[in-house]
């Protein structure tokens, strides 16, 4: 082996290094070196922090609906058809006979308990677990090759919602509303509709602002639990309430004039004024009594045999109404974290997948499909991007000693619909058993970059300076998946 520490080699290496430095300096002087693009930060009027702002480039979508199936919904029992898994049912996973995953040793390959059938003119194979969503296959753009960085639920939800596995980073919705504001200043710019049973495992991290201004945190409420403290107190008339708010606005404006340039004070006053306007706007948008009986029936909101489905259906109606009103970002959760073991709280099908999913599938299927059909009829899909996702996938095997699938971040599915995406279209693939992504392997960073691009935002330049770093939703990674764009 060559001795790199002798005198001759040392001088040769030093000379080469110095010439490289000299060349770089010369190129810099002549402005021939590529320089990183300058950050594009939104220009925000502190008096109107939620005012609508222009995107970086022409956008296909004006708003986003994220449908988040909390608990890691199995791709192999919904949207990722694997005929070889059916053929090899009951046999070991080739080359991984002693595989250990999140909860231990894996057993044999196990086909889905639900049959897959061709859907629409495209013939896309989708499971009977979600037959009504399957009817919309021709409107969907599938990404079957997503990969994650963790096999744990809380960090997995963080990663899908914020681009980081740790707590404390801004969510997709916070980045979006910070950059673009909203089209309705009487409602929150960003709403998180929690599942009827409670919050997801990562809870408020899914819609938190992180280090962005607190104004861009998602506002959490659902159809059964609207925002509290909005009603006028007993004994106070509407006229008195209106006069009081007008007087308070005058006092706030006078106080603000004493401190010109205080953006934090201006933002705080603006937030209080939004809260006042929400006294009228939120009760109106959450009042589902104005919906027709046929709409309630289509969504399943009148289903007395399945109260949980009826509650989720009302959340779906609420999501559609918020989007109609111009809310920029709506995050609709299906599944909640509940302590005390596995049940039908979310999609975490470890022990008894068939029994759990048989109860949970119908809760998602009819209401969600009805919402998407309704949005299409109303023209909302023309400028709304719909994103369906979950925190990671599931194994093609069942766990030893159980009748369910373990966590799998190495290959899972998401889909998009609406503004700016090809449909019907399938991008990427997992292997023949659905274990690992092997074709057009994509990261969550790529996924986020694509969503931002469809909104007219450059993920590499949308950044926020925090603790000495230019922070991005996509960190220092990510490429737009151009193949999925219409």
Domain co-membership, 463 together with 379: yes
pLDDT at position 258 is 79
Domain co-membership, 69 together with 13: no
Residue 96 has pLDDT above 90, yes or no: no
Which has more pLDDT, 54 or 261?
A: 54
pLDDT at position 344 is 55
Domain co-membership, 339 together with 443: yes
pLDDT at position 34 is 45
For 335, which DSSP code? -
Residue 216 has pLDDT above 70, yes or no: yes
Does 142 reside within a domain?
yes
Residue 267 has pLDDT above 90, yes or no: no
Does 196 reside within a domain?
yes
Domain co-membership, 132 together with 23: no
Those residues whose C-beta lies under 8 Å from the C-beta of residue 478, and which sit 6 or more positions away, are 443, 445, 446, 448, 449, 459, 460
Domains held by the chain: number: 2
pLDDT at position 317 is 98
pLDDT at position 28 is 45
Burial class from Cβ neighbours inside 10 Å (0-12, 13-18, 19+) for residue 275 reads middle
Residue 457 lies in domain: 63-226+290-484
Query: Tokens 């059909």, residue?
Result: 373
Query: What are residue 193's phi and psi, to 5 degrees?
Result: -95, 105
Tens digit of each residue's pLDDT (9 = 90 or more) over 229-258: 566 677 777 787 677 767 777 877 777 777
pLDDT at position 242 is 72
Does 15 reside within a domain?
yes
Does 51 reside within a domain?
no
Tens digit of each residue's pLDDT (9 = 90 or more) over 141-185: 999 999 999 999 999 999 999 999 999 999 999 999 999 999 998
In this prediction, residue 223 has a pLDDT band, given cuts at 50, 70 and 90, of very high
- Cα separation of 220 and 194, whole Å? 7
Q: Which of 103-112, 261-270, 366-375 has the lowest mean pLDDT?
A: 261-270
pLDDT at position 232 is 66
In this prediction, residue 343 has a pLDDT band, given cuts at 50, 70 and 90, of very low
Domain co-membership, 308 together with 163: yes
Q: Which of 24-33, 50-59, 70-79, 219-228 has the lowest mean pLDDT?
A: 24-33
Does 158 reside within a domain?
yes
Q: What is the CATH number of the domain that holds 200?
A: 3.40.720.10
Domain co-membership, 177 together with 73: yes
Does 67 reside within a domain?
yes
In this prediction, residue 260 has a pLDDT band, given cuts at 50, 70 and 90, of confident
Domain co-membership, 82 together with 12: no
Which has more pLDDT, 471 or 25?
A: 471
Domain co-membership, 19 together with 142: no
Domain co-membership, 71 together with 162: yes
Pairing of strands 425-427, 100-101: unpaired
Q: What is the SS3 assignment for 386? A: strand
Domain co-membership, 31 together with 177: no
Contact call for residues 76 and 410 (beta carbons, < 8 A): no
Domain co-membership, 30 together with 70: no
pLDDT at position 22 is 60
Does 359 reside within a domain?
yes
pLDDT at position 15 is 59
Domain co-membership, 31 together with 143: no
In this prediction, residue 342 has a pLDDT band, given cuts at 50, 70 and 90, of very low
Does 213 reside within a domain?
yes
- Best-predicted range by mean pLDDT (268-277, 283-292, 444-453): 444-453
pLDDT-above-70 percentage for the chain: 87
Q: Which letter, b or e, does each residue of 298-327 get, where b requires 16 or more Cβ atoms within 10 Å of its Cβ?
A: bbbbebeeeebbbbbbbbbbbbbbbbbebb
Tens digit of each residue's pLDDT (9 = 90 or more) over 183-203: 998 999 999 999 999 999 999
């Amino acid at each position: 082996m060559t001795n790199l520490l002798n005198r001759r080699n040392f001088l040769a290496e030093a000379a080469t290094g110095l010439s490289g430095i000299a060349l770089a300096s010369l190129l810099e002087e002549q402005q021939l070196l590529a320089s990183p693009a300058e950050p594009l930060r939104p220009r925000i009027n502190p008096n109107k922090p939620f005012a609508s702002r222009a995107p970086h480039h022409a956008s296909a979508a004006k708003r986003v609906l994220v449908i988040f199936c909390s608990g890691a919904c199995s791709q192999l029992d919904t949207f990722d058809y694997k005929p070889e898994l059916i053929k090899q049912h009951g046999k070991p996973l080739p080359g991984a006979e002693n595989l250990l995953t999140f909860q231990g040793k894996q057993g044999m390959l196990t086909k889905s308990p639900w049959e897959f059938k061709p859907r629409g003119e495209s013939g896309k194979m989708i499971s009977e677990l979600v037959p009504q969503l399957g009817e919309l296959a021709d409107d969907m753009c599938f990404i079957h090759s997503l990969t994650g960085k963790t096999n744990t639920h809380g960090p997995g939800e963080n990663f899908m919602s914020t681009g980081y596995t740790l707590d404390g980073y801004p969510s997709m919705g916070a980045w979006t509303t910070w950059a673009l504001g909203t089209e309705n200043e009487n409602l929150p710019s960003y709403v998180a509709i929690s599942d009827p049973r409670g919050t997801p495992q990562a809870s408020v991290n899914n819609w938190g602002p992180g280090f962005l201004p607190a104004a861009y945190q998602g506002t959490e409420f659902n159809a059964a639990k609207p925002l509290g403290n909005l009603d006028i107190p007993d004994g106070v008339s509407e006229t008195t309430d209106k006069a009081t708010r007008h007087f308070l606005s005058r006092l706030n404006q006078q106080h603000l004039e004493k401190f010109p340039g205080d953006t934090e004070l201006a933002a705080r006053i603006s937030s209080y004024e939004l809260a006042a306007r929400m006294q009228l706007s939120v009760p109106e948008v959450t009042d589902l009594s104005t919906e027709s009986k046929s709409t309630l029936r289509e969504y399943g909101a009148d289903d007395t045999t399945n109260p949980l489905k009826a509650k989720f259906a009302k959340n779906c109606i609420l999501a559609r109404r918020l989007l109609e009103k111009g809310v920029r970002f709506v995050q609709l959760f299906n599944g909640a974290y509940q302590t005390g073991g596995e049940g039908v709280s979310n999609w975490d099908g470890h022990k008894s997948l068939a029994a759990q999913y048989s109860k949970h599938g119908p809760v998602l299927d009819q209401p969600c499909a009805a919402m998407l059909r309704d949005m299409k009829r109303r023209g909302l899909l023309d400028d709304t991007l719909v994103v369906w996702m979950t925190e990671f996938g599931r194994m093609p095997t069942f766990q030893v000693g159980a009748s369910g699938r373990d966590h799998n971040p190495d290959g899972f599915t998401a889909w998009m619909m609406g503004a700016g995406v090809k449909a019907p279209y399938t991008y990427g693939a997992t292997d023949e058993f659905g274990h690992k992504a092997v074709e057009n392997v994509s990261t969550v960073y790529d996924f986020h970059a694509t969503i931002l691009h469809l909104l007219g935002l450059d993920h590499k330049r949308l950044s926020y300076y925090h603790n000495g770093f230019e922070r991005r939703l996509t960190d220092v990674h990510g490429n737009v998946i151009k193949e999925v764009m219409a």
